[in-house]
Chains A and B, each alone.
Chain A
Amino acid sequence: MRVLVALLVALVATSARADVPPPAAAAGEALHEDKEFGPVILIESIEITGNTATQTEIIRRALPIQPGDILHASDRRMREVRFKVLALGYFRDVTLGMHKGSARGQVVIEIHVVERGTFVLNRLWFGTNELTPYWIGTDVGERNLLGLGIAVGGGLIFASHGLVQGSRDQWAGELRISDGALRGTRWGANGALTLVHGSEAYRVAGTSGTAPDEFRAFPYRRFGGRWGVTYDITTLARLSAGYRLEEVDTQLPVAPTQELPDGRVVGIDLHLRPGESRIATAQLGFDRDTRPDPILPHSGGRITATAEIGSGALGGSYNFLTVFARYEHWFPLHDERHTIGFRLAGGVVIGDADRFDRIHISDVDQLLTPRAMGLVLSNAAPLDILGTRPDKPSYGDLGGTATVEYAARLFRGIGKNRVYGGDLFFGAGLWGLAEAEDLRLRDRALWSSLPIDIVADAGVRIDTELGIFELTIGNALGRLR
């Protein structure tokens, strides 16, 4: 451990080598030329080559210039051509050329693209713990189906069951389709189908152990779909709206109870209707991301918010409203070699929400195994670091996290060795999860009734040509607890 600490300290120290002071508030000229100069040209035609899978029309729609445009050769739109095509995400490289047209002053623009694989491995789930002896699954996608610019994807996960009475093997599958720019417009559409065959464990005794006899489980089945539209307000901000309809079939225990450490027996609300029920919701969301590098962010920020309303008027059995939001901002330090990031995330569930739409403890505590395709894979209690409320709830209707993260740049490259960069990071903060009722009434001292605790994580993030990888404490614990 000492060796590791020494190594990490050395890496941070070298990353902060004091070679050149940062260019603080840059005096003089802005670093990007905006004034147009040079010859005025008429774009006679645009030739696109190199695309074998992607339809030419998809590329053409993304271009900021069109045949017939008259502009300076140094026009901003000319400089943006390459990046607008790269922003599609389907190409490894884009090179531009310009040739003489059929008459003086006219030019032919040549755009040569090099396609890349657009198959994406979104997630890989695996791990083991007492509740689930093993789970394995994956989520994959193809971002450019048949060269049409349509993304399809899906996931499948299997989780074996442990010794908790009433539990069963769990599995879930999902299929998705989306087009972020319908016919090149700002409008997008998406849809998904989900089938979950699961079982949920709930505590019947004790407060923090994971012994099978402290839990019971009930089976459930969810089947449904989501359909939505998106609208790009700007290139960095998006509005979304959607509708979700799910059929839930469950066999709930009759009058489930939990025996508390003091011997009292209390009823448990599992937040589901027995037998068949339906979840129908309408959703509205907003997303704005200004981080130049979302993988190793050192500047910029992101805000995401969504509100979802479930109602009988929409065809559902549950009437509720959920509001979730997340905000993060990164402050660069020392020429962006270091950064401090602040993250706030939280949500509130109002009304009679179903169990699956409530906030699970692993949503807020990164040191627990996260839900995978809706399946709860762990019954571990969170680490009790602050000595606050010992029996923290597994589900809540008010929850969130507030964390501060420091990241130091270990290296940056241009990908010659297929590695773009790496960061070492340390983060810590607070998480909290509560039932609204717990906040109104308490039967113990304020501190020991607070449903909050510390969350911390540290590790290395690496951005490579093959993908993004995290070697972190949270990632490791999320596969074992």
Chain B
Amino acid sequence: MRALIVALLLVTAVARADDDDLLQVQKMKFVERGDSLYVTTSIGKLFDFEAFQGLKSGFASTVAIQIWVYPKDSREPIAITTLVRSAVWDIWDEIYTVKTCKTCPAQKVKSPAEALKLLTSVDDFPVAKLADIPYDDIYYLALRADLNPVSKETLTEVRRWLSQSSGGIDRGGVFFGSFVSAFVNPKIAPADRVLRVQSQPFYRPAPKP
């Protein structure tokens, strides 16, 4: 039993170090305008050197951003917003075409730095209705950005060979049991890179009488 506990602890410790899903706290700017709350921040950390180089591959780079606002001491968001941005390099015209949302018109920029800025800047972006945020209550904004996210259907397809039966004689194993096997087992991540950030706590000060 002790050996089992030690083995479990070791595996967990090793794997914990590999957990890529850790949350970072990042300072963000919030502004009230009209009936909405706007945020300004950047997700530049989503791109490392390799991802930045990938902007010039000729294949589209896509950033999927999910933003949600939630009160302290609760896991129920009061507002959720998603947006998808993409950039693609024209290897003949040597120009980037960037779309910052699905319905936005495409923008053309020359340098990779400009393309990166368009992909990763969240400038004055509406994230919640003010009516949903009572005065003096503390809230957080959380943001998850995925670089080149892979759809669940694609993930399923890529790993499908794992669950295909080897066609063995043991019907019981196929229909009732599970399987354990060993092999070189590459796995694709659900995105090239993932960034999870959380804002500092914020609140709406009540207007002075």
Contact = CB atoms under 8 A, between A and B. Distances in A.
A460 B15 CA distance: 13
A334 to B, nearest CB: 8
Interface string B33-68: 000000000000000000000000111101010101
B180 interface: yes
Contact of B187 (A91, A373, A415, A470): A415
Contact of B82 (A26, A88, A287): A26
Contacts of A27: 79-82
Contacts of A153: 166
A363 B84 contact: no
A42 to B, nearest CB: 11
A470 B8 CA distance: 11
Nearest to A334: B75
B184 A466 contact: yes
Which range contains the number of A residues in contact with the other chain? 35 or more
B209 interface: no
Nearest to A94: B188
Contact of B80 (A25, A80, A143): A25
A29 interface: yes
Interface string A116-152: 1111111110000000000000010101000000000
Interface stretch (B87-95, B130-138, B200-208): B87-95
Interface string A289-322: 1111111000110101000000000000000000
Contacts of B20: 412-414, 416
Contacts of A364: 176
Interface in A398-415: 401, 410-415
B85 to A, nearest CB: 8
A24 B77 CA distance: 8
Given A29-B83, A374-B170, A292 B92 contact: no
Given A411-B12, A412-B19, A38 B7 contact: no
A447 to B, nearest CB: 25
A422 B15 contact: yes
A312 B12 CA distance: 56
Interface residues of B, number: 96
B161 to A, nearest CB: 4
A235 B157 contact: yes
A224 B7 CA distance: 43
A417 B18 contact: yes
Contact of A20 (B92, B93, B144, B171): B144
A410 B15 contact: yes
B86 to A, nearest CB: 5
A143 B185 CA distance: 12
Contact of A105 (B19, B76, B92): B92
A192 B15 contact: no
A236 B160 contact: yes
A43 to B, nearest CB: 11
Interface string B173-209: 1111111111111111110000010100000000000
A363 B173 CA distance: 7
B173 A370 contact: yes
Interface string B146-173: 1011111111111111111111111111
Interface in A422-481: 422, 460, 462-471, 475
Contact of B8 (A7, A118, A196): A7
25 contacts: A4-B5, A18-B75, A19-B23, A23-B80, A26-B80, A26-B82, A100-B91, A120-B182, A172-B169, A192-B167, A235-B153, A235-B157, A287-B165, A293-B155, A294-B160, A304-B175, A325-B175, A362-B172, A363-B171, A414-B20, A419-B11, A463-B187, A466-B182, A466-B183, A471-B8
Given A1-B1, A417-B17, A466-B184, 6 more contacts: A7-B9, A11-B12, A27-B80, A83-B154, A304-B175, A422-B12
Interface of A: 1, 3-4, 7, 11, 18-33, 35, 37-39, 73-74, 78-80, 83, 86-89, 91-93, 96-100, 104-105, 107, 116-124, 139, 141, 143, 153, 155, 172, 174, 176, 178, 180, 190, 192, 194, 196, 226, 228, 235-236, 238, 287, 289-295, 299-300, 302, 304, 324-326, 334, 345, 347, 359-360, 362-364, 366, 370-374, 401, 410-417, 419-422, 460, 462-471, 475
Interface of B: 1, 4-5, 7-9, 11-12, 14-21, 23, 57-60, 62, 64, 66, 68, 70, 74-77, 79-84, 86, 88-93, 97, 99, 101-102, 106, 142, 144, 146, 148-190, 196, 198
